[in-house]
Structure 1
């Protein structure tokens, strides 16, 4: 075999495949959404949410307040830049001129940043739910520093706000980063109430149109998903995932599927249960061989 010749042929064959208009060829690399930068900004956002827990540990003579002010300004600048890059590819903004898009993106950026104090309040309730729900937690600091469930929920809370504001791509990159770190897959479109507790967490899937009430506890391996259909893209925007009421506990391995499935308040779903129809208030659902 002429190794050099075969190498040249293989290279040329692959290069030729880039000449057509396949979607996988990518977009203009100079304007491509920067996945690495989005992941980096997650760390800065976590510093804003939890200033005492995600600091960089470098000694400074100036105050925490000044340090945080610099971090917040940096995040505003970079969020605006990243949001502009992803919004250029969204159909919802296709009719805007570049100046109009920049103005719109600035509005989105400040709307998101203005929401962070409220997100902090919501996360305070989540931390309380983690602490009250897990007797193995000896302090809230332990939860903040080590629990993958809280990490995933924290990123989801931010990504959900960006999703709600109509930002494309970025919210999904954020929650998929959390998914890769924790094994917990929460779509940014899901609606989740206060005092949300994920115990252990590995293998949890929460779909885009899921609605979850308050004081809900979910264990590892739970799926809140859609029923498999042939509808594909035609189902986009429809309610495909279940609705979970308040004070519901869903134990490990349970699957609750379908947009018409409503689990009412005060329900307990046992481990490995498979639920595709609604469950009345106060019920107990158990897996039956």
Structure 2
């Protein structure tokens, strides 16, 4: 080994000693979330096999989760075993909320055949499910792991939901690719998002880290593809519709309809001196 290599390795060792956290394994985190999904929704695997071994699977997952938390022991609010118990105690509530999310997709997407299809293959549902699990862990003051889980789902689906966002019941993401939901976003019940929607911040300065940076979306709002809504003070009132490609940085009242106005010019192939006909859509 050369002197330069030895010096570099010493530098890495010193840097490693300064890390605040020891991280759980990212592959193990991904395996855990997928196995937990298969426990909750056996339609994603061999249903008969899952039903025969459900108690065994549950126990194995609790042990797996304790192991996943072990590297974070020094930064957890309690022992990994206690945190695991608290988390699994919340599974019935998480499960009920996910059924509402799946039903919202079935009720609002004409292409959806039924809940089984939504649970098995819809990327929007999968990402919402991982978000709800990660959000519960964040509420239990588990560091890092919630973000690891949502980034795992982000890599698979192209949908980026920060685990700190607050999302209500019956949430529907259609198609989903490119959706971004920031950390301090608040979303009410029965909200529908389409692909490319961004709920973000107007400023990204580090000094804003502890402030409300992302918008509030009230109940029964529909936001169509590629709309961008920015700012912690921006509130989209309930029962509003935000059209595609809208750029919104101010609040709108309930029952509002916000859309882009496009002008289309139709050119006549004959009668060169005829005036063009303009349509405002």
- Band the TM-score falls in, shorter-chain normalisation: 0.7 to 0.9
Larger radius of gyration: 2
Q: Quote the residue 1:184 is aligned against.
A: 159
Q: CA RMSD in A?
A: 2.3
1:59-208 matches, within 5 Å, as: 64=51, 67-88=53-74, 90=75, 101-102=78-79, 105-208=80-183
Q: Deviations over 1:172-228 (max 9, x none)?
A: 111001000000000011111111000000000000111100100000000001112
Number of aligned residues: 260
Is residue 236 of structure 2 the alignment partner of residue 263 of structure 1?
yes
* Other-structure match for 1:46: 37
Distance 1:151 1:200 in 2: 12
The partner residue of 2:215 within 242, 245, 249 is 242
- Residues 237, 37 of structure 1: alpha-carbon distance in 2 compared, 3 angstrom cutoff: same
Give unmatched runs, 5+ long, in structure 2.
263-281
Contact 1:87-1:168 within 8 A present in 2 as well: no
2:248 corresponding residue in structure 1:
275
Any unmatched runs of 5+ in structure 1? 1-7, 94-100
Cα distance in 2 for partners of 1:144, 1:35 equals 24
Q: Structure 1 residues 72, 238: CA separation in 2 closer, same or farther (over 3 Å shift)?
A: same
CA contact (8 A) 2:177 2:195 kept: yes
Offset of 1:121 from its aligned partner?
0.5
C-alpha distance in 2 between matches for 1:287 and 1:22: 55
Shift of the alpha carbon at 1:81?
2.1
